Amino acid sequence: MLQLLAACLFFTRLPFWRLAEVPSSCFKRVVPYWPLTGWLTAGLSVLVWYLSSLIVPTGIALVFAILTRLFVTGCLHEDGLADFIDGFGGDNSRESILTIMKDFHIGTYGVIGLIGYFTLFYALLASLPLEIAGTIWLVGDPLAKSIAAMTINRLPYAKKETEAKNQVVYTRMTPPGICDLYIRRTVTRMLVTFLSVCRSRFVSCWYLVCINRIHKKRYRAIRETVAERFSCCAN
């Protein structure tokens, strides 16, 4: 339970610290719980998107959802992306790349990378219907975190704990933790399939209802026209 709370404290800026005091050692064993925090951050963002779309246009509601994600996560992912682009764009040597990535300042490459990131993020989601884009967002966040967890479990660290930016080196997952992570990924994929089937059935039912209403209107119009013509002939 403390590991899950530590994962929520690391990935969000929500006041989970009020629930319990988490020892620093728990932050090293949070990797299996990363996907669960993805459900939280993505769920809040999609919820804001849906509720806002009931009041304002969908495009503006999407901006509110993106801002919600930034506020909830404290721009953690965007900060890491900017560091990554600055590091690999600024130099070619391993030592220089790691030094640039650890720097708290943002460079030209990082700014351009964030502009491209937010542009693609908005354009791709806005080009899809809200229910499809919301499902992708809701499932993609925990799925991406599970992939990142497996990457940490397989690749060695580039720096030591004292040299790391967050002063934490995560403990590799044990076989039970890996099995648990794969189970969560399987559940996520099953949820995607279930939501897709529900959406297709909903769309089919909605289509039939619309067609039925159209046919009723046309039938009513034809019946009224025929009645008018018969009344004219009778007169």
Q: How far apart are CA 193 and CA 44, in angstroms?
A: 21
Higher pLDDT, 181 or 90: 90
At residue 91, the pLDDT reads 73
- 219 — pLDDT class (breaks 50, 70, 90): very low
Q: What is the DSSP letter of 27?
A: G
- Beta-carbon count within 10 A of 138 CB: 21
- 182 — pLDDT class (breaks 50, 70, 90): low
Output the CA angle 144-109-138, nearest 5 degrees. Answer: 20
Q: What is the mean pLDDT of residues 114-141?
A: 89
At residue 48, the pLDDT reads 93
- 166 — pLDDT class (breaks 50, 70, 90): low
- Cβ(185)–Cβ(143) under 8 Å? yes
Share of the chain above pLDDT 90, in %: 17
* DSSP H helices in the chain: 2-11, 34-53, 58-73, 76-90, 94-102, 108-126, 130-154, 175-234
Helix axes 130-154 and 34-53, enclosed angle (nearest 10): 160
Give the closest residue to 130 by CA, choosing from 65, 188, 58, 29. 58
Higher pLDDT, 195 or 55: 55
Q: Is 105 helix (H, G, I), strand (E, B) or coil?
A: coil
Higher pLDDT, 196 or 27: 27
At residue 122, the pLDDT reads 93
- Residue 226 CA: distances (Å) to CA of 146, 181, 186, 213, 230: 65, 67, 60, 20, 6
The residue type at 82: A
> HSE-up of 20 (CA within 13 Å, CB side)?
11
* pLDDT above 50 for 199: yes
Tell me the whole-structure pTM to 2 decimals.
0.71
